[in-house]
């Protein structure tokens, strides 16, 4: 199994093609193809992390995304944030999330606390 480092965009695209072909084969993880897929996947992830980093999520946008994905309304956020006027203040970046809000949102809506504790991007601008 000869695998080389991914150093260029051409190497990256070739690795993606090979990963795609291996995924289509759906190999057993302990087979040579499965091991090759695992190693190539790790190399592709490392290349992407270095060359295509993903910016951290804005906590308020994460809450809005969860609301959208789960069909939640402002009323549904009351147990996590407080009265509707407070929910509106948080969603409009006029009030920061408190530690208790972060805990309740993380536990109740399964939004990672690491996302919620970040400074809102819109507030930083």
Inside any domain, residue 100: yes
Answer whether residue 42 shows pLDDT above 90: yes
pLDDT digits (tens, 9 = 90+) for 54-76: 887 899 999 999 999 999 999 99
| Amino acid 92: pLDDT | 96
Region of residue 118 (phi > 0: left; psi between -120 and 50: alpha; otherwise: beta): beta
Structural domains counted in the chain: 2
The mean pLDDT value for 4-13 works out to: 94
The stretch 94-98 carries a mean pLDDT of: 96
The mean pLDDT value for 27-40 works out to 94
d(CA 25, CA 10): 23
Q: Are residues 44 and 76 in the same domain?
A: no
DSSP for 26-41, written as a single string: ---TTSHHHHHHHHHH
Residue 81 lies in a domain: yes
Query: Is the pTM here over 0.75, yes or no?
Result: no
Dist. CA 13–CA 5, nearest whole Å: 13
DSSP 8-state assignment for residue 93? T
Long-range Cβ contact pairs of 105-112 (< 8 A, separation 24 or more): 105/63, 105/80, 105/81, 108/79, 108/80, 109/63, 109/66, 109/70, 109/72, 109/80, 110/66, 111/62, 111/63, 111/66
Kindly state the DSSP code that residue 2 receives in the 8-state scheme. Answer: -
pLDDT cut 90: percent of the chain above it: 86
Range 92-107 average pLDDT: 96
Both 40 and 75 in one domain: the answer is no
Q: Which domain holds residue 63?
A: 59-124
């Amino acid at each position: 199994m000869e695998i080389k480092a991914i150093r260029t965009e051409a190497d990256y695209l070739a690795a993606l093609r090979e990963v795609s072909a291996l995924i289509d084969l759906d190999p057993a993880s302990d087979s040579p193809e499965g091991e090759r897929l695992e190693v190539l996947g790790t190399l592709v992830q490392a290349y992407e992390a270095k060359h295509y980093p993903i910016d951290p999520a804005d906590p308020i946008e994460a809450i809005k995304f969860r609301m959208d994905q789960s069909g939640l309304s402002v009323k549904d956020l009351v147990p996590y944030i407080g009265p509707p006027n407070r929910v509106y203040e948080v969603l409009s970046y006029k009030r920061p999330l408190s530690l208790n809000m972060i805990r309740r949102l993380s536990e109740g809506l399964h939004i990672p606390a690491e996302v919620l504790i970040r400074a809102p991007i819109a507030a930083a601008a």
